[in-house]
Chain A
Amino acid sequence: MTRHLLSIDDLGADGIAEVLEVTDSFAEVARRAIPKVPTLRGKTVATLFFEDSTRTRISFETAAKRMSADVLSFAAGASSLKKGESLRDTIETIEAMGIDAVVIRHPSSGVALQATRWLTGPVVVNAGDGWHAHPTQALLDLYTVRELLGGDSRCFEGLRIAIVGDIRHSRVARSQVAAYTAMGAKVTLVGPATLLPPSVEGWGVESVTSVIDDVLPAADVVSLLRIQAERGSGAFLPSLREYTSEFGLTMERARCLPSTSIVLHPGPMVRGVEISSDAAELPQVHVTRQVANGVAVRMAVLFLLLGVPGSAGVPGSADSGRAVSAAGAPPPGASSGPELRAGGRDGG
């Protein structure tokens, strides 16, 4: 595990497999009558959400609380940002309070990376930055697939994954592609041409198509995405109804799916657009399982970042034999590398 979790690239295939394996243990904790362990007692986790969220925020906070960490919850709308405080000052103020981990979501890509440059103590977990990445969502999708296929991380080898919807504006899609391809799955992107990224060079996807009906009969996993009106997706489509008729998972299309296939949706699910209301009730749709697994996956991520030497608040333990990946965050104060994306307001 790296010091921070900014994107799936920080983990690599081994890191992903480790998170999924550790998640098994936390899933067992979640099944207990009293789902609480003292693992992170005395640690403080702050959730900084500069963008609306229900499940991610609650999921991280539940995860931290189930490991007995203290949780500070920060909502941009009710903060001094309103009075004109800068992002940097806000983040540094929170660090000054002695926080061990910062879970951050922001509409601009690269804010989590930028936060790692400003913060010297806390570990940073990216809970979604602009179009860039949402690693824990991808990890919980993989965990859900792995659980349904028997609990072995090798199950992804050769698995056919279809990611359907607004790929262009989706950080979830980017993290999913990175995670599935790292584990050896074959990913097909499906969406209207206007909502596909201009280039998929370097994504490692198998194919890109605008005809969903070609893909469904052979798909092991179908991952639906929401049309993100707040990022301007609407302007890329003639109408939502047209999107539904071309790409929505209707009952008719769902009948083309193999019975063993798995349909996932990161939420929030908009019934009647990307999936019809009756199709959402099919047994292949595992949306609530995804939410339940989200807590266990986030427990594993927080545990691996905070509970292992080399992480925050554990000085002098860098020599733990745990390699910090080159894709990890630069040391505090390092000058901006070419990977700097922060500050770019590339959100819709």
Chain B
Amino acid sequence: MAERERNHARPRGVVFLPRVQVMSAADVNRAVTRMAHEIVERNHGVDDLVLVGLQTGGVPIAKRLAATLVELEHTDVPVGSLDVAFYRDDIGLRPVLPEAVTDIAMDLTGRTVVLVDDVLFTGRTVRAALNALGEFGRAQMVQLAVMVDRGHRELPIRPDYVGKNLPTKRDELVDVSGDGVVLGGLVSK
């Protein structure tokens, strides 16, 4: 969850308390490198590949994956960003606000799209992203890359590339940033 959304979702007087550092910055780097290799292997190269980061947590990871793919294959991979706020099924149930502007400059028809997000939890964001992607053309294939899969799925969605499988409690929070991955919870001030 990105900071702005979390601020809205969080009850008043409650703060995020980091508990365990699960991945260091170097661990995240290694995971990005491995996932980039897996993407190349699975797709036999990077032709027709497009990375789409989900706003806002997925965008920096998508950019890093793209940079690594350029090193591996010496071909530029386009990166887009997608804000799924307008496609969520929980509009009106919880605060949903657009986080940042969607930016997908190309027609996705016939392309292989890799959706990239920081944390995979209930799967509802990805469901919304699949609907949103349809507006930008009919992708040949859509794959999913996440830095952390924390379980508790509410929909039949599974990632293709995972940085780390992290068993969590439902009420815990996972924070992914440039400094690594931290597991924590919400506590009253």
Q: Nearest Cβ distance between residue A65 and chain B, in whole angstroms? A: 14
Query: Which chain A residues in 298-319 approach chain B with CB under 8 Å?
Result: 303, 306-309, 311, 313-314, 317, 319
Bitwise, A27-71 to B at CB < 8 A (1) or not (0) is 111001010111110000000000000000000000000010000
**16 A-B residue contacts at CB 8 Å?**
A22-B97, A25-B101, A26-B98, A28-B101, A32-B135, A36-B135, A37-B86, A38-B131, A39-B86, A307-B91, A308-B95, A308-B96, A314-B92, A317-B93, A321-B10, A322-B8
Contact B102 A321 (CB under 8 A): no
Closest 3 CB pairs of A and B: A25-B98, A37-B86, A39-B86
Contact B86 A306 (CB under 8 A): no
Q: Nearest Cβ distance between residue B89 and chain A, in whole angstroms? A: 9
The answer, yes or no, to whether A320 is at the interface (CB within 8 Å) is yes
Q: Nearest Cβ distance between residue B152 and chain A, in whole angstroms? A: 22
Q: How far is the CA of A317 from the CA of B10 in the complex (A)?
A: 13
Query: Which chain A residues in 302-348 approach chain B with CB under 8 Å?
Result: 303, 306-309, 311, 313-314, 317, 319-322
Question: For B86, B96, B100, B101, which residue has the most chain A Cβ atoms within 10 angstroms?
Answer: B86
Q: Give the total of A residues in contact with B, Cβ under 8 Å.
A: 29
Q: Nearest Cβ distance between residue B131 and chain A, in whole angstroms? A: 7
In the complex, the chain A residue whose C-beta lies closest to that of B132 is A37
The answer, yes or no, to whether B12 is at the interface (CB within 8 Å) is yes
Q: Nearest Cβ distance between residue A305 and chain B, in whole angstroms? A: 11
Query: Which chain B residues in 80-96 approach chain A with CB under 8 Å?
Result: 83, 85-87, 91-96
Contact A322 B91 (CB under 8 A): no
The answer, yes or no, to whether A24 is at the interface (CB within 8 Å) is yes
Q: Given contact pairs A28-B101, A37-B87, A308-B92, enumerate 9 new A-B contacts (beta carbons under 8 Å).
A: A24-B101, A25-B86, A29-B86, A38-B87, A40-B91, A306-B92, A308-B97, A309-B92, A322-B8
Question: For A32, A36, A309, A320, which residue has the most chain B Cβ atoms within 10 angstroms?
Answer: A309
Contact A313 B92 (CB under 8 A): yes
Contact A307 B92 (CB under 8 A): yes
Contact B83 A25 (CB under 8 A): yes
Give the residue of A25, A40, A317, A322 whose beta carbon is less than 8 angstroms from that of B85: A25
* Known interface pairs A22-B98, A24-B101; A321-B11 also in contact (CB < 8 Å): yes
Q: How far is the CA of A39 from the CA of B131 in the complex (A)?
A: 12
Q: How far is the CA of A53 from the CA of B83 in the complex (A)?
A: 34
Contact A320 B101 (CB under 8 A): no
Residues of A with C-beta under 8 A to B92: 306-309, 311, 313-314, 317
Residues of A with C-beta under 8 A to B8: 320-322
Give the residue of A37, A40, A309 whose beta carbon is less than 8 angstroms from that of B94: A309
Q: How far is the CA of A121 from the CA of B9 in the complex (A)?
A: 24
Query: Which chain B residues in 22-55 approach chain A with CB under 8 Å?
Result: none
Q: How far is the CA of A311 from the CA of B93 in the complex (A)?
A: 10
Contact A28 B96 (CB under 8 A): no
Bitwise, A131-164 to B at CB < 8 A (1) or not (0) is 0000000000000000000000000000000000
Q: How far is the CA of A300 from the CA of B97 in the complex (A)?
A: 10
Residues of B with C-beta under 8 A to A306: 92
Residues of B with C-beta under 8 A to A317: 92-94
Residues of B with C-beta under 8 A to A67: 86
In the complex, the chain A residue whose C-beta lies closest to that of B85 is A25
Residues of A with C-beta under 8 A to B87: 37-39
Q: How far is the CA of A309 from the CA of B90 in the complex (A)?
A: 10
Contact B93 A309 (CB under 8 A): yes
In the complex, the chain A residue whose C-beta lies closest to that of B128 is A38
Q: How far is the CA of A313 from the CA of B92 in the complex (A)?
A: 8
Q: Nearest Cβ distance between residue B38 and chain A, in whole angstroms? A: 31
Residues of A with C-beta under 8 A to B10: 321
Bitwise, B62-93 to A at CB < 8 A (1) or not (0) is 00000000000000000000010111000111
